[in-house]
Amino acid sequence: MQLRAGRPTAAAAIGANRCTISLVSPGPQLVRPPAASERNWLPAVLAVAVVIAAVGGLLLYYEHNAARPAVTPIHAAADPYAANLVIGNLAMSESANLSGGKVTYLDGHIVNQGNRTVTGITIQVLFRDAVREVAQNETQPLRVIRTREPYVDLEPLSAAPLKPGDAADFRLVFDTVADQWNGAFPDLRIVHVDFQ
């Protein structure tokens, strides 16, 4: 067969393009995973920030509302029944706490000489400085000593009410005392009495 110059034949055209048609599938193809995209950390960071803010808010709320010693004005009137409650045998002591500070204790004895059963006493304690000015003013509930061995255990007066004629030992505990305190016994004043 003779080829003319200038015009290719059909066979030459097919061979030149080298097309193949496959009738059989080559099998499963490996598919490359898409390129790893950078993780979006914004939702996780926001969630952590919200949790930290919530915990911080709760801590501040409870710290702010924590029981703190109440402060009664220095010239507040004593409870009318206070004249029937006689306090004596005062003794002070100190001990070191685990954080390296010291705790001050004021122990005493109280007698109910009135005609009513007392279930609670709020007492004002005034620590004075060298010139007899008030260095610390603290008000706290009177707690009675339940046991002394193996350690002093306190309970509220409502757990062991003072009936007429009854007496009890008590202890007041002070985590801090003003540096200006003169070291003398503080002034004690019963500012509130609860009855049965």
Distance spanning both ends of the chain, measured CA to CA: 132
Among 19-33, 36-50, 93-107, 179-193, which stretch is predicted with the lowest mean pLDDT?
19-33
Can you give the pLDDT at residue 186?
A: 93
Among 61-65, 119-123, 164-168, which stretch is predicted with the lowest mean pLDDT?
61-65
- Distances, alpha carbon 193 to alpha carbons 110, 119, 150, 159, in Å: 13, 8, 31, 15
Can you give the pLDDT at residue 182?
A: 92
Can you give the pLDDT at residue 98?
A: 79
Is the separation of the CB atoms in 95 and 105 below 8 Å? yes
Q: Which residue do the tokens 């009675």 mark?
A: 144
Quick one: pLDDT band at residue 124, thresholds 50, 70, 90?
very high
Query: pLDDT per residue over 80-94, tens digit each?
Result: 999 999 999 999 999
More confident residue, 61 or 169: 169
Single-letter code of the amino acid located at 2: Q
Is the separation of the CB atoms in 128 and 184 below 8 Å? yes
From CA 125, how far away is CA 39, in angstroms rounded? Answer: 62
More confident residue, 35 or 186: 186
Domains of the chain in sequence order: 80-195 (2.60.40)
Assigned token pair, 84? 């029937």
Can you give the pLDDT at residue 1?
A: 46
Q: Is the pLDDT of residue 8 over 60?
A: no
The total of other beta-carbon atoms located within 10 Å of residue 72's CB is: 19
Quick one: pLDDT band at residue 97, thresholds 50, 70, 90?
confident
Assigned token pair, 153? 């255990």
User: What is the phi/psi pair of residue 49, to 5°?
Assistant: -65, -40
More confident residue, 193 or 20: 193
Can you give the pLDDT at residue 77?
A: 85
SS3 content of the chain, % helix, strand, coil (to 5): 20, 35, 45
In sequence order, the β-bridge partners of residue 107 are 91, 171
SS3 30: coil
Q: What is the pTM of this model?
A: 0.61
Percent of the chain with pLDDT strictly greater than 90: 44
